[in-house]
Structure 1
Amino acid sequence: MKYQTRKKALVLLADGTIFYGKSVGIEGTSTGEICFNTGMTGYQEIFTDPSYFGQIMVMANAHIGNYGVNDEEIESDGIKISGLICRNFSFTHSRVDSNGNLKDYFEKHNLVAISDVDTRALVAYIRDNGAMNAIISTEIDNIEELKKQLANVPSMEGLELASKVSTREPYYIGNEDSDIKIAALDIGIKKNILRNLANRGAYIKVFPFDASFEDLASFNPDGYFISNGPGDPEPLIGAQEVAKEIIKRDLPLFGICLGHQVIALANGISTYKMHNGHRGINHPVKNLLTGKGEITSQNHGFAINREETEANENVEITHVHLNDHTVAGIRMKNKPVFSVQYHPEASPGPNDSVYLFDQFIESLQAVKS
């Protein structure tokens, strides 16, 4: 596509601020909470991560699309972001094992995307003013109508989105002859989490977001897992009840991201919406149990209350985020339950934290022995 033929487009923030750019080619309008990711690679994994459902993504990396797409590098059944904002969009790509270009991929999923935006200024603005709802559109001549549409977009705070991305029917992953069985509650699970568990020999049954403890227990698993996902954790009453039942029975439980927040809520620890969240692949975390630092992949807009965690006699903090000292991991005292706020499976990101999957499998083996 020639640069001069591209249609003008805009980004309108909830506070009335406007940034201009040009359409990547899919005309239309899209709404959602605007957020930014600082990762320099892994855009396809980001776009297909269910945790980003309902969000318009600003990519801090200046070049998006330059290595195309690969069918093996997806984290769900398709694109989950509501829209994309970037600086430079590459209509051509150069990569040996690419399956195609990003524009065709967007057209397949009908994703509105805008480039030629001053993303450095936009990211700085979000950092200063916080994550907020936004609308992106090629209909730049009717800003007042866009403002009306934007006013009707619900806040991410209090929004339950797990039901929008969870599986509708249970399914299985891994070797059915394995002696390690895991029941996973899907509230927005990434494929690479399941790969990491299956690669360690586990046989996993994945259940829908509204499955009960009895549903999960019917698989007769050795342990339980609560996944990552989008939206506010507080409305997920069903998932919290599942976690409470697992905890009450002293059964092994591992949670990641939204699952971490659900486990905290099950322990009476509240959550809150962050100013702009953590989204990137270079976030520093300290493991308080070992004293070691980890570079981690993160994607969350909510966090658990640190003061309440420290005051909880049944829970201890295991990991902290070194940028803002938020809680990055917890475990229960005298129970085989632990969770982390970040993504040890990465995809994209570093592998500093994959030991957590080994730790979980070891806890299951210990229970069996």
Structure 2
Amino acid sequence: MSLLSPTPAVLVLEDGRAFRGRAYGSTGRTVGEAVFTTGMTGYQETLTDPSFHGQIVVQTAPHIGNTGVNDEDDESGGYWVSGYVVRDPSRRVSNWRATEGLEERLIRHGIVGISGIDTRALTRHLRDRGAMRAGIFSGDDAALGTDAQIEAVRSARPMAGARLVDEVTTGQPYTVEAVGEKRFTVVAYDLGIKSATPEQLAARGIEVRVVPAGTPFAEVSALKPDGVFFSNGPGDPAAADHEVEVIRRVLRAGIPFFGICFGNQLLGRALGFGTYKLTFGHRGANQPVLDVASGAVEITSQNHGFAVEAPIGDPVTAPQEEFGRVEVSHIGLNDRVVEGLRCLDVPAFSVQFHPESAAGPHDSRGLFDRFADMMADRPASTRA
């Protein structure tokens, strides 16, 4: 399909607002939660990030597709977005690494999209009204009546209360070998893990045993890991009771724990804090975060629609008192959302952003070193 195709398409929000444009990618219909991401680059990593499962992604940067796509930068084995929205698709690919155009890739993976709409107006609407369900209808589906389109949108699964990790996690365990001399073994729960994450761990001499989300703690314990890692992932953390109980058992066993994004929300729940849905979330590679301990501001890559409800300021005793004191370690500077937790009496910490930074800035990659240091400092008496 040509990027200049006149095939009609319409994006319809659950509150009835509609945006008309041209089909981009596959034609047909799709529904999901409409969210926007503010990154100017990294669209291939966005499309292959399992955290976007069930969502129609709106790119706020107007010109998308310039560098095409390649066979190396996918962050998982699938293209997870439910739909894709851009303003001005690039008419040609200009990058020596490209193996295919973006629209060709979208068509090959059956991703229904729309182009030629006012993405700024759409983004402002989502900021004012909040992320909401939406549908993209193109070709024959674009000619459906508005009432039928809205009905299809409103019948879509809402994100609040949704358990999605089972739909994106690996089917079988696998191992990413340590680079160079092996120092530690880490069990990484795949809740929607991006390939750059075990690569960052492996680069620090860590053998990574990636396991499905439903893996019981007994199987983890049998592997005698030096640490446990929980990845990013889609859906509502309130629906992840199994994973929360696993973390509690990890903490009770004294095994060092590190969580990112969804893993941060689940550590919060394990400590007894609540979680809540943000109005429109944080998505993009340009999110400023304050590291409370150092006072440094880090530019981070983020993708989340839920957050931890914990007090900012002095350390407090966790609501689950057996785990001792905890403090908010990082704060979002745009809206003061909790961006990280640090336990003071058990070896555990987490952040709401993506330190593997694919794509994105590298300000926070030192967190992987911090995890390695935590495992190195683990008392011998707590080792299996």
Give the alignment's TM-score, normalised by structure 2: 0.93
Partner in structure 1 of residue 357 of structure 2: 346
Q: Which range moved further: 238-247 or 134-143?
A: 134-143
- Does structure 1 residue 288 correspond to structure 2 residue 292? yes
- Does structure 1 residue 208 correspond to structure 2 residue 212? yes
Alignment check: 8 A CA contact 1:270 1:308 kept = no
- Does structure 1 residue 222 correspond to structure 2 residue 226? yes
Alignment check: 8 A CA contact 1:269 1:308 kept = no
Alignment check: 8 A CA contact 1:6 1:25 kept = no
Q: Classify the secondary structure of the residue corresponding to 2:142.
A: coil
Alignment check: 8 A CA contact 2:25 2:106 kept = no
Partner in structure 2 of residue 148 of structure 1: 151
Partner in structure 1 of residue 254 of structure 2: 250
Aligned ranges 1:90-101 → 2 under 5 Å: 90-101=90-101
Partner in structure 2 of residue 366 of structure 1: 377
Aligned ranges 1:330-341 → 2 under 5 Å: 330-341=341-352
Compared with structure 1, are the counterparts of its residues 185 and 65 closer, same or farther at alpha carbon in structure 2 (3 Å cutoff)?
same
**Alpha-carbon distance between aligned partners in 1 of 2:5 and 2:346, rounded to the nearest angstrom:** 61
Q: Cα deviation per residue 1:128-180 (whole Å; 9 max; x = unaligned)?
A: 11000000111222122222211211210000000010001100002397231
**Alpha-carbon distance between aligned partners in 1 of 2:25 and 2:284, rounded to the nearest angstrom:** 27
Displacement of 1:25: 4.5
**Alpha-carbon distance between aligned partners in 2 of 1:132 and 1:204, rounded to the nearest angstrom:** 37
Q: Classify the secondary structure of the residue corresponding to 2:143.
A: coil
Partner in structure 2 of residue 19 of structure 1: 19
- Does structure 1 residue 198 correspond to structure 2 residue 202? yes
Partner in structure 2 of residue 266 of structure 1: 270
Partner in structure 2 of residue 44 of structure 1: 44
Q: Classify the secondary structure of the residue corresponding to 1:302.
A: strand
**Alpha-carbon distance between aligned partners in 2 of 1:179 and 1:4, rounded to the nearest angstrom:** 54
Q: Cα deviation per residue 1:273-304 (whole Å; 9 max; x = unaligned)?
A: 00000001111111111111111111100001
Displacement of 1:35: 0.2
Share of identical aligned residues, percent?
Answer: 40
Compared with structure 1, are the counterparts of its residues 91 and 78 closer, same or farther at alpha carbon in structure 2 (3 Å cutoff)?
farther
Which portions of structure 1, spanning 4 or more consecutive aligned residues, are displaced by more than 6 angstroms?
none
Q: Classify the secondary structure of the residue corresponding to 1:265.
A: helix
Displacement of 1:368: 6.7
- Does structure 1 residue 163 correspond to structure 2 residue 166? yes
**Alpha-carbon distance between aligned partners in 1 of 2:50 and 2:236, rounded to the nearest angstrom:** 13
Compared with structure 1, are the counterparts of its residues 308 and 284 closer, same or farther at alpha carbon in structure 2 (3 Å cutoff)?
closer
Displacement of 1:307: 3.3
Root mean square deviation, CA, Å: 1.6
Q: Classify the secondary structure of the residue corresponding to 1:264.
A: helix
Q: Classify the secondary structure of the residue corresponding to 1:140.
A: helix
Q: Classify the secondary structure of the residue corresponding to 2:238.
A: coil
Alignment check: 8 A CA contact 1:7 1:25 kept = no
**Alpha-carbon distance between aligned partners in 2 of 1:197 and 1:83, rounded to the nearest angstrom:** 31
Gap regions ≥5 residues in structure 1: none
Displacement of 1:4: 5.7
Alignment check: 8 A CA contact 2:50 2:233 kept = yes
Displacement of 1:108: 1.4
Which of residues 237, 241, 260 in structure 1 aligns to 2:241? Answer: 237
Partner in structure 1 of residue 114 of structure 2: 114
Alignment check: 8 A CA contact 1:11 1:135 kept = yes
Q: Classify the secondary structure of the residue corresponding to 1:35.
A: strand
> What is the number of equivalent residue pairs in this alignment?
369
**Alpha-carbon distance between aligned partners in 2 of 1:368 and 1:59, rounded to the nearest angstrom:** 47
Partner in structure 1 of residue 177 of structure 2: 174
**Alpha-carbon distance between aligned partners in 2 of 1:342 and 1:57, rounded to the nearest angstrom:** 18
Letter in 2 for 1:196: Q
Compared with structure 1, are the counterparts of its residues 5 and 339 closer, same or farther at alpha carbon in structure 2 (3 Å cutoff)?
closer
**Alpha-carbon distance between aligned partners in 2 of 1:220 and 1:3, rounded to the nearest angstrom:** 53
Q: Classify the secondary structure of the residue corresponding to 2:57.
A: strand
**Alpha-carbon distance between aligned partners in 1 of 2:119 and 2:156, rounded to the nearest angstrom:** 23
Q: Which range moved further: 307-316 or 53-62?
A: 307-316
Displacement of 1:2: 5.0
Alignment check: 8 A CA contact 2:300 2:361 kept = yes
**Alpha-carbon distance between aligned partners in 1 of 2:254 and 2:366, rounded to the nearest angstrom:** 22
Q: Cα deviation per residue 1:86-125 (whole Å; 9 max; x = unaligned)?
A: 1011242010111111111111111101100100110111
Q: Cα deviation per residue 1:164-221 (whole Å; 9 max; x = unaligned)?
A: 1000110000239723100011111111111100111100101101001111122111
Partner in structure 2 of residue 73 of structure 1: 73
**Alpha-carbon distance between aligned partners in 2 of 1:368 and 1:193, rounded to the nearest angstrom:** 26
Letter in 2 for 1:64: I
**Alpha-carbon distance between aligned partners in 2 of 1:221 and 1:171, rounded to the nearest angstrom:** 15
Alignment check: 8 A CA contact 1:9 1:23 kept = yes
